Amino acid sequence: MPVANTTEAGLLLVDKLAGPTSHDVVAWARRALGAKVGHTGTLDPFATGLLLLLVGSLTRLAELYHVHPKTYDATMRLGVTTDTDDATGRVVEESRAWRSLSPERIEAELTSWRGSGVQRPSTFSAKQVRGRRAHETARAGGTPSLADVPITIHEIALRSIEGRDVRFRASVSTGTYIRALARDIGAALGCGAHLTRLRRTAIGPFEVTDAIRSDEIGSAAPAEGRGFRFGVAAIPWLARRDLDAGELDAILHGRPIDGGEALAVTEGAGSTTEPIALTRGRRVVAIAEREGDRLRPRKVFPT
């Protein structure tokens, strides 16, 4: 696979197919690109859609992506509860109460979940409990003790109802489990529910329509504009400041520089004036924070 334009620091957008784990996809990308690759958040094996993989030195920026809402197209099945909250699990309860629910009642319940609140993660999740992932404890026959976590549901909207299958769109904060959301909505409707389909369509400004398919990794070269974002294009929501030669030398040696003027980004989810990306052309040189009228580098990328 020709990889000359993907071994540079940047972001690889991948449309994960159902079946492989997110870590499988990361491993394929590492082998194909011959570069360091890390993820900014995973998808369950049965789920499809957008994965953001950081390449090269930009793997150190994963936490910056947590500000972005994640958008999903999901389907839940009413009347059936499973131990995993999705279709991969064992059925633990069934109910026919869904038959008496009107479309208006279902839509009203969905929209009532907009806003900030708390959620108990799914038992079969990757949530760490005392140094062990919850799903590992559950599969070993234990019951992980999971605390509620704060979440925000920015948007949730009904797409369609076919029998007892309810399709909806949701835009949520990082750390929100759509499986758990389906579980909780089903419980509120009085019939139970589990997730049967999940596709992530966007993360902040990044769309799955711009991604390379996971089964193409290793056979088709991701190229800029086709699955790959080089340098500063990987962090388009950050304010940025281009460096002259003297400032570049100072930053590469860890020294602060005069604050000057940064190009503020005012559009797009997660847009912010802090931290600031220090650039040299399209290359990301450092991530800096303001200290008074100075910019101090916090993470420096020498090459």
Which domain range does residue 268 map to?
237-300
Q: Which of 30, 65, 72 shows the shortest CA–CA distance to 205?
A: 65
Report pLDDT digits (tens) over 95-134.
999 999 999 999 999 999 999 999 988 876 555 444 445 4
CATH number of domain containing 264: 2.30.130.10
Same domain, 59 and 108: no
Number of domains in the chain: 3
Report pLDDT digits (tens) over 151-169.
999 999 999 999 999 999 9
44 is catalytic: yes
Q: Is 0.85 surpassed by the pTM of this model?
A: yes
Same domain, 46 and 118: no
Please tell me the predicted confidence (pLDDT) of residue 130. 47
Q: Residues 33-54: what's their mean pLDDT?
A: 93
Catalytic residue, chosen from 15, 44, 73, 86, is 44
Which are the contacts of 221, defined by CB distance < 8 A and separation ≥ 6?
A: 1, 2, 3, 5, 6
Report pLDDT digits (tens) over 167-181.
999 999 999 999 999
Same domain, 116 and 90: yes
The DSSP secondary-structure symbol of 2 reads: -
- Judge residue 50's burial from the number of C-beta atoms within 10 Å of its C-beta, 0-12 exposed, 13-18 middle, 19 or more buried: buried
CATH number of domain containing 213: 3.30.2350.10
